[in-house]
Amino acid sequence: RGRAERQDFIVAFGGGVVGDLGGFVAATYLRGLPLVQVPTSLLGMVDAAVGGKVAVNLPVAKNLVGAFYPPRLVLADTELLTTLPPGELIAGWAEVIKHAVILDPELFGEFRRVGGRAATNLDPEITPALVGRSVAIKAWVVSQDEHERTGLRMVLNFGHTVGHALEAVLGYGQIRHGEAVAVGMVAAARLSVAVGLLAEEVADQVENLLKEFGLPVQLPPQVEPAALIDRIYYDKKVAGGRPRWVLLRRIGETVIRPDIPDGLVLEVLNTLRP
C-alpha cells in the first residue's frame, strides 16, 4: 500500500527476529532497499544487527532462506535494554560471552570478574563497555570475512551447531536463541575436551560462567540427543556431507573440525541430559 520506492529505507526497530525479517524484506523488495538496524534487545545489538546476514527460518532448520545484506546504519542504545524482561536480557548475554570465549581471553576474564550480577543489573558504565567490546569483536570478524569465504567468520558459529538443532527440534519460539546457544557452547566445549583439544578445567570455566549468568547448560528433559544429531545435518556449515564443528583449543583460540564421529557427539550430548 505504501508503494515504497528504491530511495526509501526500511528501519528494523526491534529484536533479532525483527532485524532478520526487516533485513530480508530490505534485501529482496525492489531488489534492495537501504536498511537501518535499530536493535532493542541485547542479542540484536551484539549479533543480528551487526552481522550483515538476513534470513527467515524453514521448519527443518534456521536461516535457510536469506542473503548477505549489510545495513547502512546500526543504532544501538543500551538504555533500551532496561525495557527487556529478565529472561530476554539473560539470553542475550550468551552471544556476548561467546565472543569472549572464541576471540578475547581478556574479556572472558572480565566476565569472570564481574560475575552474574551483570546479567540483569545494567550498570551505566559496565554494560555499555561489555556490549561495545562484543560488537567490536563481531564487526571485526565480519569485516574480514563478510561472505564466509575465508573460514574466519565460521568461528562465530561456536555453540550454534547444537544450538540451532535444539531450536529446530523444540520448535521455534519454545527456547530463546541465546539459551539454545548456551547449551550448544557447553556441548562444543565438552566435545573439545573429548577429542583432546581443550583442558577440562577450561570447559568447566565456560559452563560455570554461563550458569552464573542464569543460562541453561543442560538439554531440556524432553529432547532426545539422537534427534539433535539428525538436525545437525541441516546446518549451513555442513560440507561434503559432514558437519564442521567449531571447537576450542583454549579461550580465544578455535579450530574447525569436520572429522568428529556422530557417536562421540551423541556420547557428549548424553552427558548434558538432566
Selected catalytic residue, list 164, 176, 231, 237: 164
Query: What is the C-alpha to C-alpha distance for residues 237 and 255, in angstroms, rounded to an integer?
Result: 14
Selected catalytic residue, list 1, 3, 31, 149: 31
Selected catalytic residue, list 95, 167, 179, 207: 95
Selected catalytic residue, list 53, 176, 231, 236: 53
Under the phi-then-psi rule, with left for phi > 0, alpha for psi from -120 to 50, and beta for the rest, what region is 235?
beta
Q: Establish whether 164 is a catalytic residue.
A: yes
Selected catalytic residue, list 153, 231, 236, 237: 153
DSSP string, 88-132: HHHHHHHHHHHHHHHH-HHHHHHHHHHGGGGTT---TTHHHHHHH
Question: For 69, how many CA atoms within 13 A lie in the half-sphere containing its CB?
Answer: 24
Selected catalytic residue, list 62, 98, 99, 157: 157
Burial of 106 (0-12, 13-18, 19+ CB in 10 A): exposed
Q: Establish whether 236 is a catalytic residue.
A: no
Selected catalytic residue, list 160, 176, 231, 236: 160
Selected catalytic residue, list 88, 146, 148, 267: 148
Q: Establish whether 99 is a catalytic residue.
A: no
Query: What is the C-alpha to C-alpha distance for residues 135 and 143, in angstroms, rounded to an integer?
Result: 12
Q: Establish whether 153 is a catalytic residue.
A: yes
Q: Establish whether 160 is a catalytic residue.
A: yes
Q: Establish whether 138 is a catalytic residue.
A: yes
Selected catalytic residue, list 138, 176, 236, 237: 138
Q: What residues contact 240, with CB distance under 8 A and at least 6 apart?
A: 258
Residues forming the active site: 31, 53, 95, 138, 148, 153, 157, 160, 164, 177
